[in-house]
Amino acid sequence: MWARVWAIFIKELKELSRDRMTFAMIIMIPLTQLMLFGYAINTDARHIPVGLVDLSQTSESRAVEQAIVATQSVDFVSRYASIKEAEVAITKGDISAVLYLPADMTRRLFSHPLYDHQQPYSALTRPIGQWIVDGSDTVIAASIRALRNLPLDEINGLATARTAPSFEVVQYYNPEQRTVVNTLPGLLAVILTMTMILFTSAAIVREQEQGNMEFLITTPVRPIELMIGKIAPYVIVGLVQVTIILSMGHWIFAVPIKGGLLSLFFASLLFIFASLALGLVISTIAKTQLQAMQMTIFILLPSILLSGFMFPYDAMPVAAQWIAEALPATHFMRMIRAIVLRDANILLLGKDALWLGLFTMAGLAIASLRFNKKLE
């Protein structure tokens, strides 16, 4: 019995060693997870991109800005002339928060009996500024809230600490800080990534395993026509999934859907096409359906971990952000959250929409060229 078991064991080892794709997945999947969790994943949000509306324009306001930057929690990447301009930037996703310093910031800073004996003591409770935060991301919002009690003793030269928070914090879009509000739109991106790529990654391989490739070769169908025909039915499947997830999330979990349906439909369509095109490219590379599934998992893991679904995008190292920018899920994650939670329209999200469109065209072209080589 043991001799027969040993023979089967040797046979499986030889088959595994000849299957280069499976052998590569055995090595790459644990290495990828190790690098992602050990290097790229960070739950401590640092260097968050924020804006500044400084109506004070004094040395004290600049000192406040430098004190905030010194914490390394945020980076001031843009300056705005008004709150309205900053709110548009938050809606677009260019910044995660904005610091508003009013024109009387200096008076608020020095409102202390040592400076102004006529000033009532209650003035000490007035904050010197206000943070306006995109509350849809609970991790980012928590990091900004940690700046409420920033010590200002070194700035105003007082030995007595303030009796109230230095800044007021206003959270837009998710004032109750419900995690599901941020999770559900991101879950839509993850589910579409998994299903769309999985459906089409085995499309060409399935034809080969079922013996239908000879029929396709003899037909007058061109490669690009075959690729488009392969993904067309799954576009409807993807839109059905979008409808189910958002409608059930709205009814069961009370997740608000603030954006327009046209923008929502267009953004979802772009991402569905991009994911299906990526699945077709995988299908032209894989030799078996098992390999296609393995490659799908290899794409799915970074899409979940690096797209901003589970961990803050701004907390990742620059190298990890470059990888994330190459994934369709990252761009759709930003778009769907902006549309559903911040009432953004597709025109404000033009960069991400353009990238998804270019990715789709490139994916279809690569899949068609690779299939064309097989025909030759």
**What's the pLDDT band for 75 if we cut at 50, 70, 90?**
very high
Q: What is the DSSP letter of 36?
A: I
**Domain annotation covers residue 165:** no
**Domain annotation covers residue 18:** yes
In this structure, the answer to whether residues 125 and 185 fall within a common structural domain is no
Are 221 and 368 in contact by the 8 Å Cβ rule? The answer is: no
pLDDT in tens, 124-178: 567 889 999 998 888 888 889 888 888 876 665 554 455 567 899 999 988 888 8
In this structure, the answer to whether residues 32 and 65 fall within a common structural domain is no
In this structure, the answer to whether residues 209 and 305 fall within a common structural domain is yes
In this structure, the answer to whether residues 211 and 322 fall within a common structural domain is yes
Q: Which residue is listed with tokens 């390999």?
A: 291
Whole-number pLDDT of residue 265: 93
Handedness of CA 281, 287, 291, 292 (dihedral sign): positive
**Domain annotation covers residue 4:** no
pTM for the model: 0.80
For the chain, the C-alpha Rg in angstroms (whole number) is 27
For residue 80 the two structure tokens come to 């705005």
The answer on pLDDT for 350 being more than 80 is yes
Task: Give the span between the Cα atoms of 50 and 132, in whole angstroms.
Answer: 10
In this structure, the answer to whether residues 181 and 204 fall within a common structural domain is yes
Give the largest CA-CA distance in the chain.
99
**Domain annotation covers residue 299:** yes
Secondary structure element (H or E) that encloses residue 203, with its range: helix 203-209
Whole-number pLDDT of residue 83: 92
In this structure, the answer to whether residues 89 and 211 fall within a common structural domain is no
pLDDT in tens, 78-134: 999 999 999 999 998 889 999 999 998 888 877 654 444 455 444 456 788 999 999
The answer on pLDDT for 277 being more than 50 is yes
Task: Give the span between the Cα atoms of 10 and 17, in whole angstroms.
Answer: 11
Task: Give the span between the Cα atoms of 134 and 96, in whole angstroms.
Answer: 6
In this structure, the answer to whether residues 23 and 79 fall within a common structural domain is no
Handedness of CA 33, 38, 42, 47 (dihedral sign): negative
Last residue of a domain, one of 145, 169, 185: 145
**Domain annotation covers residue 130:** yes
Q: Per residue, what are the HEC states of 38-93?
A: HHHCCCCCCCEEEEEEECCCCHHHHHHHHHHHHCCCEEEEEECCCHHHHHHHHHHC
Q: Which residue is listed with tokens 């499976």?
A: 22
Are 310 and 231 in contact by the 8 Å Cβ rule? The answer is: no
- Return the top range by mean pLDDT from 19-33, 312-326, 352-366: 352-366
How many structural domains compose the chain? 2
Q: CA nearest 86: which of 123, 129, 145?
A: 129
Q: Which residue is listed with tokens 């959270």?
A: 171
Over range 55-77, report the average pLDDT. Answer: 90
Q: Which of helix, strand or coil describes residue 19?
A: coil
- Return the top range by mean pLDDT from 122-126, 258-262, 328-332: 328-332
Q: CA nearest 371: which of 198, 227, 210?
A: 227
The answer on pLDDT for 23 being more than 60 is yes
Task: Give the span between the Cα atoms of 131 and 26, in whole angstroms.
Answer: 47
Containing domain of residue 57, as a range?
48-145
The answer on pLDDT for 16 being more than 50 is yes
Task: Give the span between the Cα atoms of 271 and 331, in whole angstroms.
Answer: 8
In this structure, the answer to whether residues 14 and 120 fall within a common structural domain is no
In this structure, the answer to whether residues 283 and 228 fall within a common structural domain is yes
**What's the pLDDT band for 39 if we cut at 50, 70, 90?**
low
Average predicted confidence (pLDDT) for the chain = 82
Are 195 and 271 in contact by the 8 Å Cβ rule? The answer is: no
Question: 17-26, 151-160, 220-229, 248-257: lowest mean pLDDT where?
Answer: 151-160
- Return the top range by mean pLDDT from 9-18, 38-47, 221-230, 315-324: 315-324
Are 321 and 42 in contact by the 8 Å Cβ rule? The answer is: no
Task: Give the span between the Cα atoms of 203 and 306, in whole angstroms.
Answer: 27
Are 189 and 336 in contact by the 8 Å Cβ rule? The answer is: yes
In this structure, the answer to whether residues 184 and 331 fall within a common structural domain is yes
Whole-number pLDDT of residue 97: 93
pLDDT in tens, 219-243: 777 777 777 887 888 899 999 999 9
Q: Which of helix, strand or coil describes residue 260?
A: coil
Q: CA nearest 227: which of 365, 117, 103?
A: 365
In this structure, the answer to whether residues 27 and 110 fall within a common structural domain is no
Q: Which of helix, strand or coil describes residue 98?
A: strand
In this structure, the answer to whether residues 187 and 299 fall within a common structural domain is yes
